[in-house]
């Protein structure tokens, strides 16, 4: 259920600087990303300059400034996945969908996010597309995984 | 309480609660710093100020560590100098190698540190971030590739100005300083004060330069190039030419500007007097009608933009007077043009200001008449020095000259505009005379002089007790305005200057943010006032002539058209 920013604010009656990160998390959870409009609203609500909020939000990987794609690909870059080659996996995904990590394709179909560890080290290297896990991915298997989502999209 | 510490094996007296750096500076021991800003809370980010704690062998930041009894430190031990050198080498590892083409060449703190620490090779090669230069602002250019992330600009913008237009973005080696959502400075809340440029150790922040347009105009036979210089300029040049700080160089400046080729040389001090005529009339009118009080000065374009963005509820309080620069620009292209039979299209009007926000002000829509800007180009004091050198004028061997008539005479009241408290003092001198028919005793209001953040005075003018407040630093202005919003009503006149200390410490001044230098410049202005024959704006003969022959009366129809304006709320990313 999507809550609007104002109703999120209602949950922070005595708000101040310490509420910034939880509030941004709530906004992102509800909207999927942090839009300029919403960040400005948060800034006015907490009386913190927009530049400060942008600084805090860009410091953490978890915050996004673009809406996620229809298929949101999370690439695990945790230790186990890293050892088993997740960096080449990531590069291959970026190559396949022609967009860098942290961004969304122009048609809005795919987006890539790097996550630290999704807790499936036994399946490394692992990626998750809209919560659906793909285990032991390789550079070769990436193409077919992406293509399978492209076909669903076309139908 | 006095304690004893040992520095480089010598005993030194120190006061409890002082930082090590303060004690070292007091005793003439130089320790390099980068992120430190004198008078502001320590940051400890750059690690340049490291000293070795003898007992433990640890390196500690002298800017943030306090002294204690029995402390022993070494300021230039091999360990310390090596650490400092590595810090500079790391800073240089992703820094552009274009010193020769950099505006801060020979005047760069990074360059000086590198030289002093004897860095002779690129030992460490780092990955350079590809970052775009932001040229969107009419006043300030940001080149993030030259930035070393010391954070001084961020702190000045937030702590002194209360604006926070910029902040650190991203993390780790991806960090840079930028505007929210990577927008341009032009749509941010930046008020163009330029204090970020003054504190920047490198060439990452500079003013937007207009040399080529001015040179083109100077070479154009069909143009009459007119120049005006702000009251603070003449006392802010000396150190750049090897003279003692604060020396008044007005005569040499007039002569130099003529040598460069300016056709007419005018003194903005004249327009400051004109501003006082209008502003004091406005003050008296508002006091008599008890309307829109307190009246707030509008001479500082950074303050005006700040008001439009952050406190629009006070816009009715802001004086409708244009700033002296713009009044002069307006009078040059009307009264002067008509009087000297020059078409206003043929006038190219340049102004020399201690300020970067004046560049912004000059291109404001409100400051143009029928599509012609009242002021065409603005140079800061720093740029003026370069311009003088570009034209090879020797300021030390030049016959002093006086400015041109009819806009070249200023009184010492107008001259005081250059320092915090000056506008208020000049306005009160004239208002006092207008209300009582006699001059203010000694012409002086010592309570509103000096470098304090906020100065207040109550002045008895007949039956009226006029409350005056003078603030500098926009963060301090906000505090005062909050008090007024909360119901404080004993203040009638407020002077607000964005830069701490006023225009003598402006964002366009030579890069030397030393309080002592500012004090000397302020003293120079007060000395000019002490020695002046005419100390009040209403006795400026050229101003009297202008009213008699052209404007008729303050706040009259013509004045209203030429010398007044109005401001509106501004929506920016803030």
> Which of helix, strand or coil describes residue B503?
helix
Chain A positions touching B309 (Cβ under 8 A) are none
Residue B574 CA, distance from chain mean position:
22
Position A122 in a domain: yes
Comparing CA positions, the residue from B398, B363, B322 lying closest to residue B563 is: B322
**B467 and B374 in a common domain:** yes
**Cβ contact, residue pair B167, A55, below 8 Å:** yes
Between the two ends of chain B, the Cα-to-Cα distance in Å is 44
- Catalytic residue check, B361: yes
Domain match, A54 and A94 both: no
Number of domains in chain A: 2
Please report which confidence band the pLDDT of residue A32 belongs to, taking 50, 70 and 90 as the band edges: confident
The DSSP H or E segment spanning A154 is helix A139-154
Q: Is residue B482 packed enough to be buried (19+ CB in 10 Å), middle (13-18) or exposed (0-12)?
A: exposed
Domain presence at residue A131: yes
Distance separating alpha carbons of residues B410 and B379, to the nearest angstrom = 21
**CA dist., res. B431 & res. B28, Å (int):** 48
Q: What 8-state DSSP symbol labels residue B351?
A: E
Domain ranges, residue A105: 71-154
CA separation for the pair A72, A93 (Å, rounded):
12
Q: B266 with B403, same domain? A: yes
pLDDT tier, B267 (very low <50, low <70, confident <90, very high otherwise)? very high
CB pairs under 8 A between A and B: 42
What percentage of chain B reaches a pLDDT higher than 70? 100
pLDDT value at B539 more than 90: yes
Is the pLDDT at A16 greater than 60? The verdict is: yes
Q: For residue A142, give the CATH number of its domain.
A: 3.40.30.10
Kindly report, residue by residue over B455-473, the tens digit of the pLDDT: 999 999 988 999 999 999 9
State chain B's maximal CA–CA distance in angstroms: 79
Based on the domain organization, do B185 and B228 belong to the same domain? no
> Is the pLDDT confidence value at A89 over 60?
yes
Predicted local confidence at residue A155, as pLDDT: 66
Q: Is the pLDDT of residue A1 over 60?
A: no
Whether B127 has its CB under 8 Å from any CB of chain A: the answer is no
Residues A107 and A75 in one domain: yes
pLDDT of residue B480: 97
The token duo for B295 is 């009246």
Nearest CA in chain A to B180: A51
**A134 sits in which H/E element:** strand A132-134
Residues B276, B277, B282, B285, Cα dihedral to 10°: 130
Instruction: For residues B344 and B363, state if they share a domain.
Output: yes
Q: Which of B179, B208, B237 is the last residue of a domain?
A: B208
| Count of structural domains, chain B | 3
Query: Does residue B571 lie within any of the structural domains?
Result: no
CB within 8 A of B202, min separation 6: which ones? Answer: B95, B102, B104, B108, B109, B110, B146, B147, B148
Query: Cβ A52–B189 below 8 Å, yes or no?
Result: no
How high is the pLDDT of residue A61?
82
Q: Do A36 and B181 touch (CB under 8 A)?
A: yes
pLDDT recorded at residue A150: 85
> Of the candidates B173, B208, B243, which is a domain's last residue?
B208
On whether both B36 and B173 belong to a single domain, the answer is: no
* Residue B444 covered by a domain: yes
Nearest CB partner across the interface for B170, out of A40, A51, A58: A58
Could you tell me if residue B31 is inside a domain? yes
Show residues of chain A in contact with B158, CB under 8 Å. 49
CA angle B530, B533, B536 (to 5 degrees): 85
Let me know if B308 is a catalytic residue: no
Same domain, B226 and B185: no
Dist CA B133 CA B144 (whole Å): 7
Residue of chain B whose alpha carbon sits nearest to that of A54: B180
Please tell me which residue in B309, B361, B425, B495 is annotated as part of the active site: B361
Residue B513's pLDDT band, with cuts at 50, 70 and 90, is low
The phi-psi region of residue A100 (left if phi > 0; otherwise alpha if psi is between -120 and 50; otherwise beta) is beta
Closest CA to B403 of B274, B232, B254, B228: B254
What digits encode the pLDDT tens for the residues B126-177?
A: 888 889 999 999 999 999 999 999 999 999 999 999 999 999 999 988 999 9
Name the pairing type of β-strands B176-179 and B166-169: antiparallel
The CA radius of gyration of chain B, in Å to the nearest whole number, is 25
Segment B48-90, tens digit of pLDDT? 999 999 999 999 999 999 999 999 999 999 999 999 999 999 9
Q: Which two tokens stand for residue B563?
A: 């010398």
Chain B residues with CB under 8 Å of A40 CB are 573
- Catalytic annotation on B279? yes
Q: Give the three-class secondary structure for B228.
A: strand
Are B38 and B151 in a shared domain?
A: no
- Domain extent, residue B153, equals 129-208
Question: Which segments of B265-314 does DSSP mark as H helices, in order?
Answer: 268-289, 301-310
pLDDT (0 to 100) of residue B549: 94
Using one digit for the tens of pLDDT, what is the confidence trace for B469-489? 999 999 999 999 999 999 999
Question: Which parts of B462-511 are beta strand (E)?
Answer: 464-472, 493-497
Q: How far is the C-alpha of B60 from the C-alpha of B52, rounded, in Å?
A: 6
Confidence of residue B271 (pLDDT cuts 50, 70, 90): very high
Please, what is the average pLDDT of chain B? 95
Give chain B's length: 574
Task: Taking residues B198-207, report their average pLDDT.
Answer: 96
Co-location of B204 and B232 in the same domain = no
Instruction: Tell me if residue B171 falls in helix, strand or coil.
Output: coil
User: Considering chain B, what percentage of its residues have pLDDT values greater than 90?
Assistant: 92
**Contact (Cβ atoms closer than 8 angstroms) between residue B414 and residue B241:** no
A36 contacts in chain B (CB < 8 Å): 181
> Alpha-carbon distance A1 to A45, whole Å?
22
pLDDT of residue B317: 97
| B568 occurs within a structural domain | no
- Provide mean pLDDT across the span A38-45: 95
Q: Tell which residue, B373, B376, B368, has the closest CA to residue B218.
A: B376
């Amino acid at each position: 259920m999507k809550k609007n920013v104002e109703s999120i604010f209602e949950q922070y009656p005595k708000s101040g600087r310490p509420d910034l990160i939880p509030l941004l998390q709530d906004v992102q959870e509800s909207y999927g990303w942090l839009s300029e409009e919403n960040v400005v609203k948060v800034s006015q609500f907490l009386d913190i300059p927009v530049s400060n909020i942008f600084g805090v939000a860009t410091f953490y990987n978890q915050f996004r400034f673009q809406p996620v794609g229809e298929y949101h690909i999370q690439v695990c870059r945790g230790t186990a996945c890293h050892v088993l080659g997740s960096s080449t996996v990531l590069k291959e995904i970026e190559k396949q969908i022609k967009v860098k990590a942290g961004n969304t394709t122009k048609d809005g179909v795919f987006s890539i996010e790097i996550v630290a560890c999704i807790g499936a080290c036994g399946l490394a290297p692992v990626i998750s597309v809209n919560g659906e896990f793909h285990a032991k991915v390789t550079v070769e298997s990436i193409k077919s995984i992406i293509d399978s989502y492209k076909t669903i999209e076309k139908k | 309480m006095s304690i004893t510490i040992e520095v480089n094996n010598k005993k030194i007296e120190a006061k409890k609660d002082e930082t090590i750096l303060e004690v070292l500076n007091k005793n003439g021991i130089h320790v390099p710093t980068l992120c430190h800003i004198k008078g502001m809370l320590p940051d400890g980010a750059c690690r340049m100020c490291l000293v070795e704690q003898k007992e433990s062998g640890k390196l500690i930041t002298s800017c943030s560590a306090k002294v204690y009894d029995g402390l022993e430190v070494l300021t230039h031990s091999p360990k310390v100098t090596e650490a400092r050198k590595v810090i500079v080498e790391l800073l240089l590892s992703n820094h552009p190698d274009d010193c020769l083409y950099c505006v801060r060449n020979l005047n760069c703190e990074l360059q000086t540190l590198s030289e002093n620490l004897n860095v002779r090779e690129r030992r460490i090669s780092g990955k350079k971030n590809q970052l775009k230069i932001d040229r969107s602002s009419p006043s300030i250019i940001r080149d993030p590739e030259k930035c070393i992330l010391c954070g001084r600009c961020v702190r000045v913008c937030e702590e002194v100005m209360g604006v926070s237009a910029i902040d650190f973005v991203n993390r780790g080696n991806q960090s840079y300083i930028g505007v929210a959502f990577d927008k341009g400075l032009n749509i941010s809340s930046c008020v163009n004060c330029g204090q970020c440029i003054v504190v920047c150790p490198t060439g990452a922040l500079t003013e937007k330069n207009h040399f080529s347009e001015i040179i083109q105009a100077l070479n154009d036979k069909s143009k009459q190039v007119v120049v005006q210089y702000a009251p603070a300029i003449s006392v802010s040049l000396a150190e750049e030419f090897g003279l003692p700080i604060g020396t008044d160089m007005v005569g040499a400046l007039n002569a130099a500007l003529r040598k460069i080729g300016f056709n007419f040389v005018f003194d903005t001090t004249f327009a400051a007097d004109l501003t006082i005529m209008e502003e004091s009339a406005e003050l008296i009118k508002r006091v008599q009608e008890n309307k829109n009080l307190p009246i707030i000065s509008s001479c500082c374009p950074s303050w005006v933009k700040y008001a439009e963005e952050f406190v629009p509820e006070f816009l009715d309080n802001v004086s409708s007077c244009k700033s002296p620069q713009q009044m002069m620009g307006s009078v040059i292209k009307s009264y002067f043009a008509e009087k000297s039979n020059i078409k206003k299209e043929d006038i190219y009007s340049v102004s020399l200001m201690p300020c970067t926000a004046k560049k912004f002000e000059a291109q404001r829509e409100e400051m143009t008449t029928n599509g012609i800007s009242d002021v065409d180009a603005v140079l800061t004091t720093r740029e003026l020095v370069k311009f003088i050198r570009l034209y090879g004028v020797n300021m030390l061997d030049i016959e002093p000259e006086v400015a041109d008539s009819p806009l070249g005479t200023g009184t010492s009241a107008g001259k005081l505009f250059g320092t915090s408290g000056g506008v208020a003092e000049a306005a009160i001198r004239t208002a006092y005379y207008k209300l009582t028919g006699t001059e203010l005793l000694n012409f002086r209001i010592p309570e509103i002089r000096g470098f304090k953040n906020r100065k207040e005075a109550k002045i008895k003018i007949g039956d009226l007790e006029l409350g005056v407040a003078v603030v500098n630093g926009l963060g301090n202005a906000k505090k005062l305005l909050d008090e007024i919003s909360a119901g404080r009503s004993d203040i009638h006149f407020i002077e607000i200057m964005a830069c701490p200390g006023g225009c003598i410490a402006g964002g366009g001044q030579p890069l030397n943010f030393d309080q002592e230098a500012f004090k000397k410049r302020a003293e120079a202005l007060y000395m000019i006032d002490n020695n002046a024959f005419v100390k009040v704006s209403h006795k400026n003969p050229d101003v009297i002539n202008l009213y008699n022959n052209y404007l008729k009366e303050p706040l009259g129809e013509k004045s209203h058209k030429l010398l007044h304006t109005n401001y509106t709320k501004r929506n920016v990313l803030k």
